[in-house]
Structure 1
Amino acid sequence: MPPEANLEELKQTIKVLEQKCACLEASDQKFRSLFNGSMDGLLIVESGGGRIICANKQIGAMLGYAGSALQGKDFQVLLPETTNQPKKDLLQEIQVCGGVFTQDFMHSDGRVCVLDLMATLIPWEKDWAILCTLRDASERIQLEKQLRQSQKMEAIGNLAGGVAHDLNNILSGLVSYPDLLLLDLPEESVLRKPILTIKRSGERAAEIVEDLLTLTKHGIGAGEVINLNQIISAYENSSEYERLKNYHPHIHLTKQLTEDLEPVAGSMEHLSKALANLVLNTAGAMPEGGEVQVLTENHHVDGVQNECFPEAGDYAVLRVSGSGMPIFPNDLERIFEPFYTSKKMGRNDTGLGMTVVWRTVKDHNGYIDVKSEVGAGTTFSVFLPVFRNLSR
């Protein structure tokens, strides 16, 4: 073959190789763009030894590691040594089962992060590798928790509705007849004390039924325009406040009210009852006495701050705080459950007060936040959407 033909063939071969190199470079660029541009954290891990082949930039935002810092490290460095999850060979389970896991991961600063891990086997060079897609699971877990709580409250409301009306009919005689009997009894009669005990027991049972009926009432309709400051002033002149002072004589109520507080739309009756229950719960945590502080203020939320603020907007805030015993984390998760209490139920406690507060706040499209610390006490913050008169 003439040298000219060999040279031409070599040129063609070089051209084909250059085209293939260009295609490979373009393909690699596309892969890197997709890999690093993903909103999820991505890891590619050796299926055999568990060595991390590569990690994208989003891993840094999730776990505090730069992608290059993880390259070549063992996958196990991302898993915390102590965790509530059962011990398992995660890579083995991924290879056998694939699918989705909710897994604890270790942040570079030592925190434990809960992530959803979606894993699948992919061909990699001449072997197989595991593509791990990581996504923050905290929001999903919080939403599932809120859904379970709502379903639980819904079920309780349905149950309460089935029995509360019948109980009211039974209790009407238990509450009213003692008054008739007392009219005919002389003051010195030995029967007066047990009859009064029957009457008080009936009244207490009636209060529980009233709270059960509150749980069955979903929504408040159009409602009325309300200023929370007026509710607080009315509470100080109410029978609920008089009973509070009788049961807790060493409790003092102080107020810090914003004069230009924005109005809300809702039910004066339900919000008044919610305030009374919050004050009662706070006072109950201070058996030796103390100060219950009631504060109102306007608050604007720019965006999602935490699970307490799912929507941006303007809110009128009611805060009730006291320096009593703190609510421990395990109790804090269950504080709004019916009949759940870490304290001994008192004479003025139906066991449904905080459940009624939760139901009322939800019916007003509001949010409630609870903060409790040893030495600082507990603060309940109720955020209610500001009413805007759009007809103006």
Structure 2
Amino acid sequence: MTETDNLPLFKILVADDEPSTLAMYKGVLSPECIGENGLLELNALETELFGKYTSIFLPPSYELVMCSQADEVVDAVKASLKDNRPFAIAFLDVRMPPGPDGVWAAEHIRKLDKDVEIVIVTAFSDIDSKDISRRVPPAHKLLYIQKPFHPQEIRQFTSALCAKWRLERDLQVYRSNLEKQAQKRTLELSAVNRQLELEIAERRKSEERYRTLVELTSDWIWETDENLVITEADPKVKALLGYDPDEIVGRPLSCLISEDDAERTMVHVTSNRGPFRGFRSSKIHKDGRRLVIETSGMPVWDGSRIVGYRGLDTDVTAKVRAEKERQELEKKLARAEKMEAVGALAAGVAHDLNNIMTGIIGYPDLILKGILKDSPLRDLVTNIKKSGEKAAAIVDDLLTLSRRGVPVNEVVNINAVITEYLDSPECQKLRAFHPGVEVERYLDPLAPSISGSPIHIYKTVMNMVSNAAEAITGSGRVSISTRGRYIGEPLDVDEDMKAGDYSILEITDTGMGIPPEDISKIFEPFYTKKKMGRSGTGLGMAVVWGTVKDHNGHIEVKSIVGKGTTFTLYFPVAGPGASHDRSKA
């Protein structure tokens, strides 16, 4: 089998009333017309221009269908569509007596096939191209060649238009698949959203039940003199704080309050000239437990003078805990809604932006092949291509978020992924852009492997290192370390963190640090404090968060403004069901 056996077969429709012209088309578009010497010359020219040989000049295979009348053209297009083998290009002579002309045929072809590339061929200069463009839209799929023409023109037109036709068909399939995936993920996120709403509703019902129970329970009542020394204590203080009444009568009220809350509580009680409700403070149980107590009270008056205070203490520790849990659920719901919105946005971007990027990314390569190496247009065309690639990177980040939840079960050596990135062109480019930033690695060779996707772990490392470098102004240091650790008790990292063995990836920078009020926002989609146009889209850390969560991992962030930030990523080690490790260090 030769290389040409693997090339695509394009159907070409040629319509002309002159047999000699039809014979010329057949001779020009037959693969053997180029010849072995021609191929050698083209490949030598490619090597000279680009420094390598990629076989792009091997001739594609064409299936030619010849017609001499316009009605035959329409019948041929109908037959090709019925067989699901549409034409890529139709070369149409304008005048084909005695039947309808080529423009008539073009109109009917376009109604049948919106994708075929139509080339109007004429020996007459009096044709109205504007009228033809109006009758045979769209204009970008309608070209003109005037007779007489050189055979090389036909060959070049055919090669370029076939490549354009194939690229557009591939993009249609690609967009369709992206839309289906985005729609599927949007439905999944909607289901998660509904589930979280049900959980929140259930939590609120639970809070309401708890509130009812609290109202039915008997809280302890206390009374003090004007100096806040306890004079009376309800027996229920035993159940609440563990003291018998006689243990606290005669003692200052502050003896029951935590040291850091005592002064604030005393000021609040004594500053009120009337009733006060719902004041919260921390009180210490006899066994040392710290309780959140909600106090309601009022001054006791003797005429115009305050002679004491009377109040009611309610233990709201469980209520406060429930409120925190509800807030966490609401945060998860908000994050799910944002991710759902990103999924919907990804579908729209995949459909709309990819239409725009079709020309921005695809056509520059074709243009670069047709212009000289020293042409002043080459830099402009290259910039167009780079802009398209940046737009494609944004779409890729959006689609990474919209495709979250795809199961991965490959053993990944984190040290190998880090080493691969640090030796990559992306990292070299980052170092060149931040020459004052030193990147250090401290990789524990015994760090255990994890189960997941090496591509997503690579992107996580890339985003984290890039963010760390950009956080440094001037000179500084970015440190990357790995280690293994067994965690027996859950850390403060995540309430859902389970005990077990973890592979830990830690990235530390000596940059500007993150203000405490911003730490909770950095993983939100589109959140960024970078200057617009400098770098980043606000999606990098959202992608990191999504990747870590998809790997059942956890993220811990510690930062000091002006000194730097440390991100610690915890990944469960690979289980027995993971596939073979493809990335050994």
Using the size of structure 2 for normalisation, the TM-score is 0.48
Moved more, 377-386 or 67-76: 67-76
Q: 1:245 to 1:346 in 2, by over 3 A?
A: farther
- What are the Cα deviations for residues 233-259 of structure 1, in whole angstroms up to 9, with x where unaligned? 121233432332232233332111111
8 Å Cα contact 1:220/1:266 also seen in 2 = no
Q: 1:129 to 1:317 in 2, by over 3 A?
A: same
**1:270 is aligned with what amino acid?**
H
Q: 1:141 to 1:349 in 2, by over 3 A?
A: farther
Aligned counterparts of 1:177 and 1:80: Cα–Cα separation in 2: 73
RMSD after superposition: 4.0
Q: 1:321 to 1:346 in 2, by over 3 A?
A: farther
Aligned counterparts, 1:5-84, within 5 A: 44-46=220-222, 53=233, 55=237, 68=248, 73=253, 81=264
Question: 1:284 and 2:470 equivalent?
Answer: yes
**1:134 is aligned with what amino acid?**
V
**1:253 is aligned with what amino acid?**
V
Question: 1:227 and 2:407 equivalent?
Answer: no
Q: 1:376 to 1:308 in 2, by over 3 A?
A: farther
Paired residues in the alignment total: 322
Aligned counterparts of 1:145 and 1:207: Cα–Cα separation in 2: 34
Aligned counterparts, 1:298-337, within 5 A: 298-308=484-494, 310-337=497-524
Aligned counterparts of 1:114 and 1:323: Cα–Cα separation in 2: 39
- What are the Cα deviations for residues 74-99 of structure 1, in whole angstroms up to 9, with x where unaligned? 899957749xxxxx97x9464xxxxx
Structure 2: which 5+ runs fail to align?
A: 1-217, 266-270, 285-289, 298-309, 579-585
Q: 1:194 to 1:117 in 2, by over 3 A?
A: farther
* Distance apart, 1:46 and its partner CA: 4.4
Match of 2:456 among 263, 266, 270: 270
Secondary structure at 1:351 match in 2: coil
Q: 1:359 to 1:143 in 2, by over 3 A?
A: farther
8 Å Cα contact 1:219/1:363 also seen in 2 = yes
Q: In structure 2, what is the equivalent of residue 132 of structure 1?
A: 314
**1:378 is aligned with what amino acid?**
T
* Distance apart, 1:369 and its partner CA: 0.4
Q: 1:182 to 1:323 in 2, by over 3 A?
A: same
**2:570 is aligned with what amino acid?**
F
Query: Which one has a bigger Cα radius of gyration?
Result: 2
Q: In structure 2, what is the equivalent of residue 105 of structure 1?
A: 281
Q: In structure 2, what is the equivalent of residue 381 of structure 1?
A: 568
Aligned counterparts of 1:58 and 1:274: Cα–Cα separation in 2: 49
Q: In structure 1, what is the equivalent of residue 340 of structure 2?
A: 158
Q: 1:160 to 1:375 in 2, by over 3 A?
A: closer
Q: In structure 2, what is the equivalent of residue 174 of structure 1?
A: 360
8 Å Cα contact 2:220/2:240 also seen in 1 = no
Secondary structure at 2:426 match in 1: helix
Aligned counterparts of 2:544 and 2:295: Cα–Cα separation in 1: 39
Moved more, 173-182 or 329-338: 173-182
Q: 1:182 to 1:114 in 2, by over 3 A?
A: farther
Aligned counterparts of 1:70 and 1:232: Cα–Cα separation in 2: 66
- What are the Cα deviations for residues 155-190 of structure 1, in whole angstroms up to 9, with x where unaligned? 233223323221334323322222323333445555
Secondary structure at 1:380 match in 2: strand
Aligned counterparts of 1:199 and 1:158: Cα–Cα separation in 2: 31
Aligned counterparts of 1:114 and 1:182: Cα–Cα separation in 2: 73
Secondary structure at 2:317 match in 1: strand
* Distance apart, 1:334 and its partner CA: 1.1
8 Å Cα contact 1:274/1:360 also seen in 2 = yes
* Distance apart, 1:326 and its partner CA: 1.1
Match of 1:340 among 516, 522, 527: 527
Aligned counterparts of 1:280 and 1:172: Cα–Cα separation in 2: 29
Structure 1: which 5+ runs fail to align?
A: 1-41, 61-66, 83-87, 95-100, 121-127
Q: In structure 1, what is the equivalent of residue 547 of structure 2?
A: 360
Q: 1:147 to 1:192 in 2, by over 3 A?
A: farther
Q: Percent identity?
A: 33
Q: 1:141 to 1:195 in 2, by over 3 A?
A: farther
- What are the Cα deviations for residues 47-88 of structure 1, in whole angstroms up to 9, with x where unaligned? 99997836558769xxxxxx8399663899957749xxxxx9
Q: 1:253 to 1:72 in 2, by over 3 A?
A: closer
Aligned counterparts of 1:70 and 1:206: Cα–Cα separation in 2: 75
Moved more, 329-338 or 237-246: 237-246
* Distance apart, 1:356 and its partner CA: 0.6
Moved more, 227-236 or 168-177: 168-177
Q: In structure 1, what is the equivalent of residue 111 of structure 2?
A: none
Q: 1:378 to 1:118 in 2, by over 3 A?
A: same
Aligned counterparts of 2:323 and 2:486: Cα–Cα separation in 1: 26
8 Å Cα contact 1:255/1:294 also seen in 2 = yes
8 Å Cα contact 2:223/2:233 also seen in 1 = no
**2:334 is aligned with what amino acid?**
K
8 Å Cα contact 1:304/1:312 also seen in 2 = yes
Aligned counterparts of 2:329 and 2:336: Cα–Cα separation in 1: 10
* Distance apart, 1:222 and its partner CA: 4.3
Q: In structure 1, what is the equivalent of residue 41 of structure 2?
A: none
